[in-house]
Homo-oligomer: A and B are copies of this chain.
Amino acid sequence: MKKVRYGMVGGGLGSYIGDVHRHGAMMDDLAVLCAGCFSRHRDKNLETADAWEIPEDRVYANYQEMADKESSREDGIDFVTIATPNSSHYEIAKYFMEKNIHVLCDKPVTMTVEEAEDLKKIADERNLLFAVPYAYTAYPAIRQARQMIEEGVIGKIIYLRAGHPEDWVISSVPEEPSGKLPWRFDPKMAGESLCSADLGTHAEQLVEQFTGLTIKRLLAVFNTWPAYLPLETNVTAFLDLGDGITGELWASQIAIGKECSPFIYVVGSKGSLEWNHETPSILKYTPVNEPTRLLSAGRDYMSKESNSMVRVSAAHHEGYFEAFGNIYRPFCQNLLALKEGKPYEGLPYPSIQEGLNGMKFVHACVESNRLGNVWVDL
């Protein structure tokens, strides 16, 4: 059984997302964590390396050293997972790619559209893989929906609604200013957007992965609460998906009562499909003038592709780690195929193209809102 080797930049103990990556990577035994630069803080870096059993000589003080050394080892890493704050994604990804190391990088992939375009260019030129772990779209029920749409089950798409509401800002940020805010609220670290980048991109990817459509232009309205925050915490956008298809997208960090509730509803001329992260293995399908059907991931009536993403029995629940695994798996399989010079025939996964689409979405939201809620092309 072949495996790929990877390293991690950022994601040290206490960072939450680092361990999520690690679980995603080990979910299907396709990737081995061999090296890392887990933190700028030496102690935390070493402590993480110790916990995760990384040999001392492959724990690095900075990412440049890591890229340099790993790229010159015979058993060097095949890819790097980048789990640092947004502002550093670009330079780190670029540096590793220039050493011909493949990349899996958290979203939003960059701070600007230009940076994302640059990363895509490099990846294309060097034939490097670049995955972006939009995990909420990596559930089997979403793959099922995509196939049903491609097979014409719901006819011509007419309209859709998608969203990603959470309550984490309103639950954790005081109503009045008090002390320093975390990096996510700082435009220098987070970029020009808070909610559109943090959650809006998830909803945008949900639209793309679920339907296969891309957003052509949008019209957005921002809210900011608590009002003293420098970046928006709620965004509502109209979507134009071409061919007369319109939609609405909502992302929120102040949605009390919605803990983490990405959702999508798509209506076509012959039926509708609906999915909600609150019950991620269920896909609601309603043919026009017929009863709603509740499709359940893993059952025999689901597509082979969708069921290939199910590791346990139907209704036995797979969650966030497994969803990360559903991105790591095809990415690693693709990498193995590439290394062996074979064509990749596995499932798709979000790549730098999807990362770039996300950046265009974020920038269009910011521009549309800034210009007084007008249509802006992506």
Chain A interfacial positions (CB closer than 8 Å to B): 1, 16, 19-20, 23, 26-27, 29, 50-52, 158-159, 161, 167-168, 170-171, 175, 219, 221, 223, 225, 227, 234, 236, 238, 244, 246, 248, 250, 252, 254-257, 259-261, 265, 267-269, 271-272, 274, 277-280, 284-296, 299-301, 311-323, 372-375
Cα A291 to Cα B29 in complex, Å, equals: 32
Question: What would 6 A/B residue contacts be, using CB atoms closer than 8 Å?
Answer: A16-B313, A219-B221, A248-B248, A256-B267, A259-B296, A317-B318
By Cβ-Cβ distance, the 9 closest A-B pairs, closest first, are: A317-B319, A257-B286, A259-B315, A260-B315, A256-B272, A291-B293, A316-B320, A257-B272, A292-B294
CB within 8 Å for A294 and B296 given contacts A221-B246, A320-B317:
no
Selected contact of A167 from candidates B219, B223, B288, CB within 8 Å: B288
B158 near A223 (CB under 8 angstroms)? yes
Cα A312 to Cα B24 in complex, Å, equals: 12
Report the nearest B residue to A50, measured CB to CB. Answer: B1
A318 near B315 (CB under 8 angstroms)? no
Q: Besides A234-B246, A259-B299, 13 other CB < 8 A contacts?
A: A26-B26, A158-B223, A219-B221, A223-B244, A248-B250, A252-B267, A257-B271, A257-B284, A259-B296, A290-B301, A317-B320, A317-B323, A319-B319
